[in-house]
Chains A and B, each alone.
Chain A
Amino acid sequence: MTNWPATEFPMLRFTLNRLIQSVIVVFAVFTITFFMIRLAPGDPFAGEKAMPDDVRKVMEARYGMQSASEYKDLQGFKRFKVRASGLTNEYFYTLRRFASGDFMPSFKYQGLWNAKIIRDAYPVSLTIGLAALAVALALGLPAGIIAAVRRNSWVDYSAMSLALVGICLPTFVMGPVFALIFGLKLRWLNVAGWFERTDWILPAVTMGLIYAAYIARLTRGGMLEVLNQDYIRTARAKGVPPARIVIVHALRGGLVPVVAFLGPALAGITTGSFIIEKIFNLPGLGQHFINSIFDRDYSLILATTVLFATLLVTVNFFTDLLIAWLNPRVRLT
């Protein structure tokens, strides 16, 4: 983006460039989301019971919104003009509050601040997400490597068939089945809720198995690609032990597709899944992503989206660093 004079520090230049770009990305996401939710029909105050105009006015003022009574009776271009100027004011008001780190109060949960909602829910999702990632890597990587090394053998076929089961089985089938077996039949774990220390196990395993299947298949594909390269043949020719070739020489390049997939996916894994939270009745962050949209909880939508965007640009930065380290042919720019 900018021509930094410090070309002799490629790492530093890359980091600074990325930092600037990331701020622009989060800003763009904020702006597009803000106008998208305002374009969507419906509003946060629409409920079964009509809200008295005076109450509505007070509420709207609290969120820096233009009062609906200002444009309710206008028609055509005039309505558009009033509405557009009102929206622009709201936009800058909201942007100012978000930029100063104040995530505004929620529309739906009266009296609660969005920052507090996220602070309460995020640890739940993060715990489950990281545990799921551990499960996924522990199962997926070895399965994919062995399948690639023993290509077209029964080990390969059975590992890949198992991975397929993981991909085919939807979460909303696997989750209830696990709850049925380990919760109701064996009584080892709680079926739902977030009370005991062991409550992360079932959701994490359900989520992890699906990602394990993806990782196994991508690892196999990536490894096969690498195992046919000349440098592997060279290593074999100079007598490097086969296990060392696979783990030290091949795995490095073979992991590129896995990292490219898992990096961005990590932002999604650690912010919770709506379906998993619904099945296991967890107070995680995933529910807020979906519910806030259905509730038209404008400020909570923006808060969750900004959080997600920030996480995403961060993991993408590290993903690109990791890919450059795994494949030295890649040049950081």
Chain B
Amino acid sequence: MNTAAVAVEAGDVHGRSLWQDAWARLRRNRLAVLCMIVLTAVFATCFLGPLLCPWQPGVQNLKLKAVPPGSTEVLDGVERTHWFGTDTLGRDLLARTLQGGRVSLMVGFVATLVALIIGVSYGAVAGYFGGRVDDAMMRAVDVLRALPFMIFVILLVAMFGRDLLLIFLAIGAVEWLTMARIVRAQVLGLAHQEFVDAARSLGLPAHRIIFRHIIPNVLGPVIVYATLTVPAVMLLEAALSFLGLGVQPPDSSWGTLIDDGAKNMESQWWLLAFPAAFFSVSLFCLNFAGDGLRDALDVKASKD
């Protein structure tokens, strides 16, 4: 009896799942780990920061309009600093950036998650079954894509009022369409590969083949596209707000703050610089973390 068999009998050998392997590989990628830490820090700052920040995002001080970063003001008898300066209406930019970050991060991640779940399942099912199922499902996507998105948003706003949840819904409802097409294109190529034929000849049910065998193989492009979707969603939210259908003043998001900042870019640089810095750093980290994840999940690449 060889040693391996002994070990198996003694129960010392544990299989390593795809995810355990991926996690081990991900931890070795320093850049990806650093980016994940920074991303967590940005999240923590935006969601917990307001507890420490003395300023309220909506409160104006008309005497301190558009003062540069580092100006001080006496609040409740204590001298406090506007670290990021104030905007043209005398509101503290730090508080507004954090508040905008909460909105943007939530819209970005929730809408992308919605798009991811619907798009990947839909695209994989269409691509796997092919033929008439694929035709019908993809033509339905075409119909939804061609519908004027703005009417849909206006209808939602008219029926349910202006609500942040609606922005998630509306954006998620558009973004999954592209995801579905990308996944389907990949799955069409996979559906006739040997390992899928093998799984099918073993008599596995379709849902098991799709979710256990096919979807893990399309995760690479899906993650890349998902990391592209997050910024796209945040910008779409900004565009909606720009048209008066998204976040309404006095609330803000990074998109609307950047838009405001761009208008005053020559006289008050800080109005653009701070929100844009938060936005760009988050997206940078998100993308490199996504790349790390992609590489970690790529079984073939790790062999050579």
Contacts and interface: CB of A to CB of B under 8 A. Distances in A.
A275 B142 CA distance: 24
A123 interface: no
Interface stretch (B2-10, B62-70, B198-206, B254-262): B254-262
A228 B302 CA distance: 10
Contacts of A170: 235, 238, 255, 258-259
B279 A260 contact: no
B151 A40 contact: yes
A123 B185 CA distance: 31
Contacts of A1: 132, 135
Interface in B66-88: none
A260 B187 CA distance: 12
B300 A301 contact: no
Interface string B150-162: 1110110010000
A144 to B, nearest CB: 11
A93 interface: no
Contact of A261 (B178, B189, B258): B178
Interface string A303-324: 0110011001100100000010
Nearest to B184: A260
B228 A330 contact: no
A239 interface: no
Given A33-B148, A221-B224, A225-B220, A329 B192 contact: yes
B279 A225 contact: no
Interface string A263-307: 011000000000100000000000001100100000001001100
Contact of A25 (B130, B142, B182): B142
A25 B151 contact: no
A145 interface: no
A264 B151 contact: no
A275 B139 contact: no
B231 A290 contact: no
A11 to B, nearest CB: 16
B185 A256 contact: yes
A31 to B, nearest CB: 10
B193 to A, nearest CB: 7
A41 B158 contact: yes
Contact of A40 (B130, B147, B158, B186): B158
A167 B224 CA distance: 13
Contacts of A218: 221, 224-225, 228
B276 interface: yes
A167 B188 CA distance: 29
Contacts of B258: 170, 172-173
A1 to B, nearest CB: 7
A243 interface: no
Contact of B225 (A176, A229, A261, A275): A261
Contact of B143 (A32, A40, A293): A32
B147 A305 contact: yes
Interface stretch (B47-55, B92-100, B280-288): B280-288
B1 interface: no
Contacts of A256: 185-186, 189
Contacts of B154: 40, 293
Given A164-B284, A167-B283, A36 B224 contact: no
A25 B141 CA distance: 10
A304 to B, nearest CB: 8
Contacts of B298: 224-225, 228
Interface of B: 130-132, 134-135, 138-139, 142-143, 145-148, 150-152, 154-155, 158, 178, 181-182, 184-186, 188-190, 192-193, 220-221, 224-225, 228, 231-232, 235, 238-239, 242-243, 255, 258-259, 262, 265, 272, 276, 279-280, 283-284, 287, 291, 294, 298, 300-301, 304
28 contacts: A25-B146, A33-B151, A37-B151, A40-B151, A40-B154, A40-B155, A164-B284, A167-B228, A168-B231, A168-B280, A170-B255, A170-B258, A173-B259, A173-B262, A177-B262, A217-B287, A218-B224, A220-B224, A228-B301, A256-B189, A257-B182, A257-B225, A289-B148, A289-B150, A290-B150, A304-B148, A313-B146, A330-B188
Chain A to chain B: the 9 pairs with minimum beta-carbon distance, closest first: A309-B146, A221-B224, A260-B185, A228-B300, A330-B188, A29-B146, A329-B189, A173-B262, A293-B150
Given A1-B135, A17-B135, A173-B276, 13 more contacts: A25-B139, A36-B152, A160-B291, A168-B280, A170-B259, A172-B259, A221-B225, A222-B221, A260-B185, A261-B182, A312-B145, A329-B190, A331-B188
